[in-house]
Structure 1
Amino acid sequence: MKWMKTLVAAFLGVTIMSGTALAQVSYQHVRNATGKLSYNETTFLIDPMLAEKGRYEGFAGTFNSEERNPKMDLPESKEDVLKGVDALIVTHTHLDHWDEVAQQFINKDIPVFVQDEKDAAAIHKEGFRNVRVLDHEMEFEGVTLKRVEGTHGTEEMYENPENAAVLGESMGVVFSAAGEKTTYLMGDTVWTARVTKTLHNEKPDILIMNTGYAKVLGFNEGIIMGTADVAKAAEFMPNSKLVAVHMDAINHCTVSRKNMRDFIHMMNLEKQVYVPNDGETVNFDK
């Protein structure tokens, strides 16, 4: 927690800045949708999937379902992934965002922020004792967290009750604090009027976008964003920085990091859009 970090820093003789001089915002990409957002001296681990390469079967009924998940190993040990983490953000409980290895390995007392009572009940059942439903807006360690409903597929997909049950609900989160860069973790969603409204109202400085354009069989469109959405976000928010993730590691993603980088180069967006490798950290200047 922040108070503990302050005590440790004081013990070690490190100067703590006061007033409005706050810590730099950074995002360390781990793998797929898993990442560490360090914000206002608080570190959030987002959507932890901590399994070793190939532990799970591919998602049935999806693109390339014969491939096992995850398709690559973590870039560092599970212990290192958890270092310095103050809280978890679980945007939804699909396997590629919240897997059994994370459930078994992570300390059960850590604060876990979830989208609704259904997810809270499931995570409580897994033994976690400090699960908090992000009911629109909440403050944690000086950071305001605001839930944004996601739409994990197209309207056509949700018209089928079976598809709707599989896709389920998902959320994004807006992080804000005085003097910090507002950050919008978009989560597993397609572009909707709600996304547009959030960008218009919150005016985020940083967007973390899931852009692997994952596909289920029988539909032409993806269940998360892709290259076209990156171009749209860059045009809609020309002064914001974008981080594109959720590629390469899961069988049903149809846009790779190479695809995304080629697209960004073609669109001349290299100065605005980051596509981090696993383990890479993106630091955002104040």
Structure 2
Amino acid sequence: MNITQIRNATVLLEIGDHRILVDPMLSSPSSLAGFRLFRGQRRKNPLTALPDDVNQLIESATAVLITHEHPDHLDKSGIEWIKSRGLKVWCSSVDAPNLRRKGLDARIITEDSCDLSVEVVPAIHGHGMIGWLMGPVAGYYLAHPNEPTVYITGDTVLTDTVKSAIERLRPQVIIAPAGTANFGIGKDLMFSEAELIELAKMASGQVVFNHLEAIDHCLMTRLRLRQIMDDAGSGQQVFIPEDGERLEFDCSSDAPPVELRTSSQSTPGIQKWLTAKFAGT
């Protein structure tokens, strides 16, 4: 299994015969609205350009996986790119109807995952009212014969559901956002520094941290994150790739047998409209 970090949460996951483009945010720098609430802190997004060889990297994609519809995970450029290639889009049952309205060939991943074994893990993108406003989001556990198992957490805080999934599924690789996103008020929208440390210590395998240095409300830097992980004694099992960097993982041990579960997500209401309006999409 190979994971190529593209930018932010966008990665190319090579697993079996699949080349899955996860959460494509493909806009050019400064073409999207800022996410910070206060003008003095807000900057137009993305903050960084895509890797120089991005076209070569993503042209091999055979499918797309969307964890949730926020514009730093699926923007207009990403939508148009998917349409131009005619790729199917794997997603949760919550996001499928709206993605279809956008003209995408959206498939509920638990119903059309080919030779992948999949569990959708519900997530919460923040705390309290802000977490509610961000709407239902999800992570995905993927297993393929003769490949390491992988859990893409999506944007979430460290809920009991996420902890339980890590303990029960024991993924050999976890891909998790580490930007500690914050609008400039209230608690973080995803894993805090303390939760990142706890996540790394809980992991039975290796952890790939991304969602870094590309969006104005993600304040964690790669340098700071590396220091935190080294100080916590988790540096050896953690990867913090640069944009364009490719990581290779092999089956050094057999994946533990697990029983996949079916989880339900609440249906979003006005939250999706509000977050899209705020982000200018």
What is the TM-score with the length of structure 2 in the denominator?
Answer: 0.83
Deviations 1:33-69 (A, max 9, x none): 0001111221111000001111112025269752110
Q: Which residue of 2 aligns with 1:191?
A: 158
One-letter amino acid of the counterpart of residue 194, structure 2: A
1:140 to 1:188, Cα distance in 2 relative to 1, 3 A: same
Residue in structure 1 matching 2:216, options 239, 251, 266: 251
Q: Which residue of 1 aligns with 2:124?
A: 151
One-letter amino acid of the counterpart of residue 113, structure 1: W
User: Does residue 230 in structure 1 map to residue 206 in structure 2?
Assistant: no
- 1:244–1:275 Cα contact (<8 Å) kept: yes
- Helix, strand or coil at the partner of 2:120: strand
Name which structure has the greater RCO, CA cutoff 8 Å, separation 6+.
2
- 2:36–2:217 Cα contact (<8 Å) kept: no
Q: CA deviation at 1:171?
A: 0.7
Q: Which residue of 2 aligns with 1:277?
A: 242
* Map 1:3-152 → 2, pairs under 5 A: 25-61=1-37, 65-106=41-82, 107=84, 109-117=86-94, 119-128=95-104, 130-134=105-109, 137-138=110-111, 140-152=113-125
What is the TM-score with the length of structure 1 in the denominator?
Answer: 0.81
CA distance in 2, matches of 1:111, 1:152: 25
RMSD: 1.9
One-letter amino acid of the counterpart of residue 120, structure 2: R
CA distance in 2, matches of 1:279, 1:229: 26
Aligned length: 250
CA distance in 1, matches of 2:148, 2:221: 28
Bigger radius of gyration, 1 or 2?
A: 1
Q: Percent of counterpart pairs with the same letter? A: 26
Structure 2 gap segments, 5+ residues each: 252-281
- Helix, strand or coil at the partner of 1:45: strand
